[in-house]
Amino acid sequence: MTGNRTKDITGQIFGSLKAIRFIEVKNRMAYWEYLCKCGKLHIARSNTVTYETTRLNDPELPSCGCVELARKTKHGYRKVKDTHPAYKVFRSMVDRCNNPNSPNYKWYGGVGVKVCDQWTNNPQSFVEWAISNGFQKGLHIDKDILCDKLNIHPHIYSPQTCQWVSAKTNVSYATNRDNFGIHPNVRLSHNQVAEIIHKHFINGMPAKDLANEYGVNVSSIYPLIRAAKRAD
């Protein structure tokens, strides 16, 4: 039996849900029990189920949640909030290699660095690689170390050239002066550093002026000055 003014929808199908029986009217809303195609019983407001059926226009939706979960598991690598945190790494990686508007593009895509087709065309492939290769929050994806060992230039993000490393390892390699002209974080060569030290201590040139002359932040100059003082 249904409520006095509740429409009887017994037997009607809405996506994956079949109305089985009326449950109650609560806050003027009718609640029904539905049998989902997966075999699970599901209780929901009838107006919500009807609205979702029309809005989604999908023969499998709404459901008890099983269809949505299956699709999220299979295709959910497009929404960060729904997926493994490694997808954030994927998005950032592709953006700096493929998006000319990315602030880091000039150091990556702009110099020929790219993401392999396997990962570009299949985000899930990247996430699965990340999980099976030791992904942990806090680790950095690194392509430079293996690409340099394999003599691959320009560098490429791929299963064969990438690894997860600590932030310390990544920063240490990224700031090695031997990588000047190769890694975006190495803005000064060995010769330029020597020039900066000479101009500061011999010519008395302020750190701010040195930063302007060499096109770096003043925060990059101070460590060089401190290191030179310690060396004395």
Q: How many CA atoms lie within 13 A of 114 on its CB side?
A: 9
Q: Out of 3-12, 85-94, 100-109, which region has the weakest mean confidence (pLDDT)?
A: 3-12
Neighbours of 82 (CB within 10 A): 12
Identify the pLDDT of residue 1.
Answer: 42
In the chain, % of residues over pLDDT 70: 79
Helix (H, G, I), strand (E, B) or coil at 29: strand
The mean pLDDT of 40-53, rounded to a whole number, is: 93
Residue range 144-163, pLDDT digits in tens: 889 888 989 888 999 999 99
Name 190's Cβ contacts closer than 8 Å, sequence gap at least 6. Answer: 177, 180
Query: Which pTM does this prediction carry?
Result: 0.47
What pLDDT does residue 121 have?
A: 86
> Mean pLDDT, to the nearest integer, of 131-142?
88
Nearest to 211 by CA among 199, 202, 203, 201: 199
Has residue 51 got a pLDDT over 70?
yes
76 pLDDT band, cuts 50/70/90, is: very low
Is pLDDT above 50 for 81? no
- Cβ proximity of 64 and 40 under 8 Å: yes
Looking at residue 33, what DSSP letter applies? E
Cα(first)–Cα(last) distance of the chain, in Å? 93
138 band by pLDDT with thresholds 50, 70 and 90: confident
Least confident segment among 73-82, 133-142, 212-221: 73-82
Judged against a pLDDT cut of 50, whether residue 211 lies above it is answered with: yes
Please write the tens of the pLDDT for every residue from 170-194: 655 654 545 555 555 566 776 787 7
State CA 147 to chain mean position distance: 22
Q: Domain extents for the chain?
A: 13-75, 79-179, 190-231
Read off the pLDDT of each residue in 38-47 and give the average, rounded to a whole number.
Answer: 92
Buried b / exposed e across 27-44, counting CB within 10 Å, b at 16+? eeebbbebbbeeeeebeb
User: Per residue in 91-134, pLDDT tens?
Assistant: 899 999 999 988 888 878 988 999 999 999 888 889 889 988 98
